[in-house]
Amino acid sequence: MLAGAVFLVVALGSASFFQIAGGAGTRAGYIWIVWLVATTFLVVALLSETHRLSRAVATNERRLRGIVDGVADALVSVDARGAVVSVNRAAAALFGFVAEEMIGTSVTRMLPDYTSVAGQQEATIVETVGRDARGTLFPVEFARGRDVTAGLGDERIIILRDITQRKAAEEAIRAAHDRAVEVAEIKSQFLATMSHEIRTPINAVVGMSELLLGTPLSDEARDYAVTVRDSADSLLAVVNDILDFSKIEAGRMDLESIPFAPVAALENATDILGAAARKKGLSLATYVAPDVPRRVLGDADRLRQVFLNLIGNAVKFTERGSVTVRAVVERVEPEKTVVLRFSVTDTGPGIAPDAAGHLFEPFRQADQSTRRRYGGTGLGLSISRRLVELMGGSIGFESTVGGGATFWFTVPFAQVVRDGEGMRTGALRGARVLVVDPEGEARQAVDQYLFAWGVVASSTANAAHGLELAKAAVARSGAYDAVIVDRGAGDDAFALGARLHAIAGLEAVPLVLVTGANETSSLHEARAKGFAAVVRKPIRRSVLHDALVAAIDGAVAPTIPVATFDGVVTQRGGDMLVLVAEDNPVNRKLALQQLKKLGYRAHAVTDGREAIEAVTHGNYDLVLMDCQMPEVDGFEATRAIRRAENARGGHVPIVAMTANALEGDRDACLAAGMDDYLAKPVQLAALGALVERFARGVRVAG
Amino acid sequence: MPDKAVLDLSRLEEAFEDDRTGIAELLEMALETGKKHRRLLEEGLASADPAVVARAAHGIKGSAGTIGATVVYELAIELDERARAGNLTGTRERIDAIDAAYARVADQVREYRAGLS
């Protein structure tokens, strides 16, 4: 339309001009009017078009403005000189300005670090700092948008976002994490301190009350001392449980992998608990299947701990009857791995099904009355389960109320030597042995051992039946090579022995007496009554084997192993020689004085090098080693001494004296080859208990 | 008898029993050793070497703990731990505190000696 109007105006305009020039009167006037109208029309049309365009522009701008102002992020456009050209509402709000105040000012007023972040790639986001109208700094996210070309040059669009809250949240998370780490640290330090500050004095109480019991006491005083010792013992057990549990929970329980005899671990545990079983009149029997490997790789102490817990529970909860411990091979896996299955069967009250579900959970016992009646932390089974699981095995139990319980666990071990007793079992192959033992479990175990050794065995629970069997055997000219008689067989095992020897053809049959552990005096009596050997309960496979071989060969029976420590008090080793390696003269002098007071001889050296020298040339029974010494420290000296021992044999006990009772220190001490450690400043009683332990040749690594 | 809060002689008495001369000798020895470590502490601080400060503090801790100089012992533990963590801020203040506590121990030791003759 506009084009038409322009044409008309131009055409009419030129026509009227020629007409006027040609002088054509009214006609020319007419054309002129038409031209005027057309021109007017053109002007109006132009004006209206302009108006329409400008309205469209304004609408667009309003729309854009609306978008820009509606964006939650702050948008700022900055010119090449760094002056703010425009801002959106969010930007004004972010910095606390009125928008107009910002226009024209340097952007560094709001973004002090603008120059260092301005040059980055388009659409990448960095963190920088913003400054508001009051000068407060706060963290912002900075993104560079697309540059736009404008009048004076490029304008840069930047997008900003306040991240104060996010930062605060991040900071809070970090702080919470740091705090948690710190708390864990404090906790483990606390536990380390516990281990010393509680265990050391309790050990001293136990040690000292044992010493006290070795002195002449009135019955009443003895009674008190026994109570002190037993209470300290149970307190120590509780503390150890809690420490173990915390250690496992914290993932700090490290298992060893060194060769050990699983049978020894089991028998050691039954030895320890044998006294408690006997006190209650329970029979405690062990059976180890012949194919259980002699040595495997693993953690003997932890395995023994599980035994102690399970057997201890069985003894604790069983009022009459027996506790039987078994070790068998569950299966042999490739790569020389053998899975052993251990079980502890008792004739106790059994476990109700509703209690069974949470038996292995921490702090739970079968019921609350159990806690009141039997005590304990309720951690034992839970620790056992975790230890077994750490060893890669599983644990469980079968029980019926009133029908006793069997707790079992399996552990895979790498095998070191398989069936090591094979060489020796030949000695008994084909021998004929009669077993008279009223205790079913013990008899069964003996039978199985004998069977494994190739012995032809007859067994009975009854003395009279035993005599009949013996007579019958002689009658068919198959006299026994040996008879094993339990002390509890018939009214009098010695009488039974005499009657066996009275049978024609059995006059010289070797008799082996099976007896309780504490009846040491009966060895002489047994010999006098014609018995060739005495084996104490719980019966050890190797001891029974050797006793039988010796008895049949007519050799002197092996002496029975030394009884467990209860009741045995050794004299202080007056000839024991201790070396003190300590650089601090004050500590050195006190340690020497303390040892003197305790009745031990001692020498002192002042650093690690002298300690190595002294141990190499001297003959020390114990070394007390300060950890932190100048030049060669205690750890290094210990490592050097152990290296030398590896070459020439021997093992001098080395006890660390450390001023930092931290778990890491303890581990470092043991890792360096030390046997135990003492916290400084050294308490006389703790030192006494410790030297006492080593004087007896017992290693107790905390 | 010394003030137990400053100098607790029970450990020494347990070991030395009636040998009060022996105790006095050990106390003198502890003060001498303390001086040596005190000098080392100053050196460590002067060279801003936490390892040296820790070694000195450890030495002070050892002797003080042994003779039962409880306050010095506690201060030295703190200083030892901080120095081992590489932290030397506040060392000067702690040295001053140790000096003050040590002075009281020295007084007690003097008294103890005087009581012997």
Average pLDDT of A159-184? 89
Nearest CB to A680 within list B15, B30, B62: B62
Q: Which fold is adopted by the domain A423-553?
A: Rossmann fold (3.40.50)
Instruction: Flag whether pLDDT at A662 surpasses 60.
Output: no
Residue A20: pLDDT band with limits 50, 70, 90: low
Average pLDDT of A154-167? 88
Model pLDDT, residue A698: 39
Beta carbons of A584 and B22 less than 8 Å apart: no
Q: Are A603 and A592 in contact (CB under 8 A)?
A: no
Calpha distance B54→B77 (Å, rounded): 9
Beta carbons of B33 and A586 less than 8 Å apart: yes
Instruction: Flag whether pLDDT at A701 surpasses 80.
Output: no
Question: Which helix (H) or strand (E) covers residue A60, if one does?
Answer: helix A25-70
Nearest CB to A589 within list B14, B29, B65: B29
Q: What is the mean pLDDT of chain A?
A: 79
Quick: pLDDT tens for A477-512: 667 888 998 887 656 788 888 888 888 878 888 888
Residue type, A499: R
B26 chain-A contacts, CB cut-off 8 A = 586, 589-590, 593
Residue B23 belongs to domain spanning: 10-116
Other Cβ atoms less than 10 A from the Cβ of A96: the count is 13
Nearest CB to A586 within list B16, B17, B30: B30
CB proximity A683 to B under 8 Å? yes
A584 chain-B contacts, CB cut-off 8 A = 33, 59, 62-63, 66
Domain coordinates of chain A in residue numbers? Answer: 2-68, 73-162, 168-249, 258-416, 423-553, 577-695
CB proximity A662 to B under 8 Å? no
| pLDDT > 90 in chain A, percent | 12
Going from the C-alpha of A98 to that of each of A71, A108, A351, A577, the distances in angstroms are 17, 17, 79, 89
CB proximity B56 to A under 8 Å? no
Cα atoms found within 13 Å of the Cα of residue A7, Cβ hemisphere only: 4
B20 chain-A contacts, CB cut-off 8 A = none
Quick: pLDDT tens for A265-309: 887 788 778 778 888 888 888 888 878 887 788 888 889 889 989
Quick: pLDDT tens for B6-65: 888 888 888 888 888 889 989 999 999 999 999 999 999 888 888 899 999 999 999 999
Model pLDDT, residue A556: 37
Model pLDDT, residue A491: 62
Other Cβ atoms less than 10 A from the Cβ of A572: the count is 15
Beta carbons of B15 and A680 less than 8 Å apart: no
CATH, domain A168-249, list 1.10.287.130, 3.30.70.20, 2.30.30.60, 3.40.50.150: 1.10.287.130
Beta carbons of A590 and B26 less than 8 Å apart: yes
Whether residue B63 is contained in a domain is answered as: yes
Going from the C-alpha of A508 to that of each of A478, A479, A498, the distances in angstroms are 14, 11, 11
Model pLDDT, residue A340: 94
Model pLDDT, residue A598: 85
Residue A625: pLDDT band with limits 50, 70, 90: very high
Model pLDDT, residue A678: 83
Calpha distance A427→A549 (Å, rounded): 7
Residue A385: pLDDT band with limits 50, 70, 90: very high
Instruction: Flag whether pLDDT at B1 surpasses 90.
Output: no
Q: Matching CATH topology for A423-553 and A577-695?
A: yes
Tell which wins on pLDDT, A489 or A79: A79
Model pLDDT, residue A370: 56
Instruction: Flag whether pLDDT at A76 surpasses 80.
Output: yes
Tell which wins on pLDDT, A417 or A58: A58
Whether residue B3 is contained in a domain is answered as: no
Calpha distance A435→A418 (Å, rounded): 28
Residue A369: pLDDT band with limits 50, 70, 90: low
Judged by phi (left if over 0) then psi (alpha if -120 to 50, else beta), residue A454 lies in left
CB proximity B111 to A under 8 Å? no
Beta carbons of B11 and A684 less than 8 Å apart: yes
Beta carbons of A593 and B15 less than 8 Å apart: yes
Q: Which fold is adopted by the domain A73-162?
A: Beta-Lactamase (3.30.450)
Give the strand pairing for A432-436 and A482-486: parallel
Give the strand pairing for A125-131 and A432-436: unpaired
Model pLDDT, residue A213: 81
Tell which wins on pLDDT, A700 or A497: A497
Residue A572: pLDDT band with limits 50, 70, 90: very low
Q: Which residue has the tokens 């009279």?
A: A464
Tell which wins on pLDDT, A690 or A123: A690
Average pLDDT of A389-395? 93
Q: What is the DSSP code string of A257-299?
A: -EEE-HHHHHHHHHHHHHHHHHHTT-EEEEEE-TTS-SEEEE-
Residue A637: pLDDT band with limits 50, 70, 90: very high
Residue A459: pLDDT band with limits 50, 70, 90: confident
CB proximity A373 to B under 8 Å? no
Helix (H, G, I), strand (E, B) or coil at A690: helix
Tell which wins on pLDDT, A162 or A378: A162
Residue A152: pLDDT band with limits 50, 70, 90: low
Residue A325: pLDDT band with limits 50, 70, 90: very high
Question: Which helix (H) or strand (E) covers residue A533, if one does?
Answer: strand A533-536
Question: Which helix (H) or strand (E) covers residue A582, if one does?
Answer: none
Q: Which residue has the tokens 């952007």?
A: A107
Contacts of A505 (CB under 8 A, 6+ apart): A474, A479
CB proximity B67 to A under 8 Å? yes
Instruction: Flag whether pLDDT at A564 surpasses 70.
Output: no
Looking at A36-50, A59-73, A140-154, which range is the least confident one? A140-154
Model pLDDT, residue B113: 85
Model pLDDT, residue A248: 78
Q: What is the DSSP code string of A591-622?
A: HHHHHHHHT-EEEEESSHHHHHHHHHHS--SE
Calpha distance A22→A473 (Å, rounded): 170
Q: Which of A464-468, A660-664, A680-684 has the highest mean pLDDT?
A: A464-468
CATH of domain A577-695: 3.40.50.2300
Q: Which residue has the tokens 């010493």?
A: A211
CATH of domain A258-416: 3.30.565.10
Whether residue B104 is contained in a domain is answered as: yes
CATH number of B94's domain:
1.20.120
Q: Does the bond joining A681 to the residue before it have cis omega, within 30 degrees of 0? A: yes
CB proximity B17 to A under 8 Å? yes
Beta carbons of B33 and A584 less than 8 Å apart: yes
| pLDDT > 70 in chain A, percent | 83
Instruction: Flag whether pLDDT at A341 surpasses 80.
Output: yes
Query: How far does the CA of residue A234 sit from the closest CA of chain B (Å)?
Result: 28
Query: How far does the CA of residue A417 sit from the closest CA of chain B (Å)?
Result: 48
Instruction: Flag whether pLDDT at A555 surpasses 50.
Output: no
Q: How far is CA B84 from the centre of its chain?
A: 18
Model pLDDT, residue A424: 47
Query: How far does the CA of residue B92 sit from the closest CA of chain A (Å)?
Result: 23
B11 chain-A contacts, CB cut-off 8 A = 590, 681, 683-684
Looking at A139-148, A323-332, A419-428, A496-505, which range is the least confident one? A419-428
Tell which wins on pLDDT, A693 or A141: A141
Model pLDDT, residue A387: 92
Domain count, chain B: 1
Nearest CB to B63 within list A586, A593, A594: A586
Quick: pLDDT tens for B51-104: 899 999 999 999 999 999 988 998 898 898 888 888 888 888 889 889 988 998
Question: Which helix (H) or strand (E) covers residue A538, if one does?
Answer: none
Quick: pLDDT tens for A177-221: 988 888 877 776 677 666 667 777 887 787 778 778 878 888 888
